[in-house]
Amino acid sequence: MSENAIGIFDSGLGGLTAVKELIKVLPHENIVYFGDTARVPYGNKSKKTIIRYAQQDASFLLSKGVKMIIAACGTVSSVAVNLRNELPVPYTGVVLPTARAAVNATRIGRIGVIGTSATVNSGSYKNEILRLNPELTVFQQDCPLFVSLVENSFISPEDPIVRLTVERYLAPMKQEGIDTLILGCTHFPIIARAIADYLGDQVTLIDSGRETALYAAALLQADKLLNNSTEAGQCRYYVSDTVEDFRRTAEIFLGTTVGSVVSHINPEQAMVH
């Protein structure tokens, strides 16, 4: 089973930031990624719908024989909290590993959290941070336009649209004097430069994709499921909308082309229920 792939899913393309980090941390692992691009975004859907989509996404990955599932989606990790108990393989979302990293990073105990509306409204990051250390102060802000910016290639820190949107959302955080900021959506690291430029060097950004990759590696090691191959792992990508659009945008997230390893599936027919 150790040679089986790691399964990763997201509502769209943001989870590719986690894929990129996972490749760095575990270069010998095979990866199966599913981006539910036909039904993105999840962040403005009802709780019932998000849970149903997450169950379908995980079920599809299980049909590919994966040895672990990662929900590389802040919304799913925050809302579909019982998914872990429904799966026959190790599972992690992004909330726990990211919250731990933020608690360890803060120097003055003032942590900011940004994410989709569903993530922020769930209070998942805030609750986890305060569970780990009740003495900390947490500020939250939903940033729904960030996802649209990234998926439409508005990512340059010099772009005035990006700069104005960052300022509009993060001005309250800056005024509160946070020293640590959780990028609570896997899309957000793509515009981390613009966020860092606005907040300044005194604020540490916590990348949920990076922290989740490190946490997943630790889980696999503990369960003796690491792939012992000395060859580079293979990545296979599945999407529920057009393959061409995915190939074009995936380059932004991965920094490399994905070529012919992308397949289209119908989310209502191809997933195992």
In the sheet with 235-239, reading across from the earlier edge strand, the strands are 91-92, 68-71, 6-10, 31-35, 235-239, 262-264
Please name which of 105, 128, 124 lies closest in space to residue 116, comparing C-alpha atoms: 124
Same domain, 80 and 214: yes
Which one is catalytic: 31, 54, 129, 185?
A: 185
pLDDT tens digits, one per residue of 204-262: 999 999 999 999 999 999 999 999 889 999 999 999 998 988 888 888 788 888 877 89
- Among 229, 271, 258, residue whose Cα is nearest residue 27: 229
pLDDT value, residue 186:
85
Is 199 found in the same domain as 140?
yes
Residues 50 and 117 in one domain: no
Assess whether 163 and 143 both reside in one domain.
yes
Total structural domains in the chain?
Answer: 2
Question: What is the band of 268 on the pLDDT scale with cuts at 50, 70, 90?
Answer: low
Range of the domain at 35: 6-93+210-264
Q: Are residues 103 and 189 in the same domain?
A: yes
> Which tops the pLDDT comparison, 176 or 265?
176
Residue 45 inside a domain? The answer is yes
Task: Tell whether the model's pLDDT for residue 41 goes beyond 90.
Answer: no
Is there a domain that residue 269 lies in? no
Tell me, what's the pLDDT at 255?
81
Residue 152 lies in a domain: yes
Q: What is the mean pLDDT of residues 66-82?
A: 94
Work out the average pLDDT over 91-95.
95
235 is catalytic: no
Mean pLDDT within 98-104: 97
CATH code where residue 185 lies: 3.40.50.1860
Winning range, highest mean pLDDT, from 58-72, 141-155, 242-256: 58-72
**273 has a pLDDT exceeding 90:** no
Q: From 193, 208, 223, give the residue that closes a domain.
A: 208
Residue 1 lies in a domain: no
62: in domain = yes
Residue of 71, 73, 120, 181 with catalytic role:
73
141 is a domain residue? yes
Which of 208, 223, 247 terminates a domain? The answer is 208
Higher pLDDT, 152 or 80: 80
- What's this model's pTM, rounded to 2 decimal places? 0.89
Q: Where does a domain end: 160, 184, 208?
A: 208
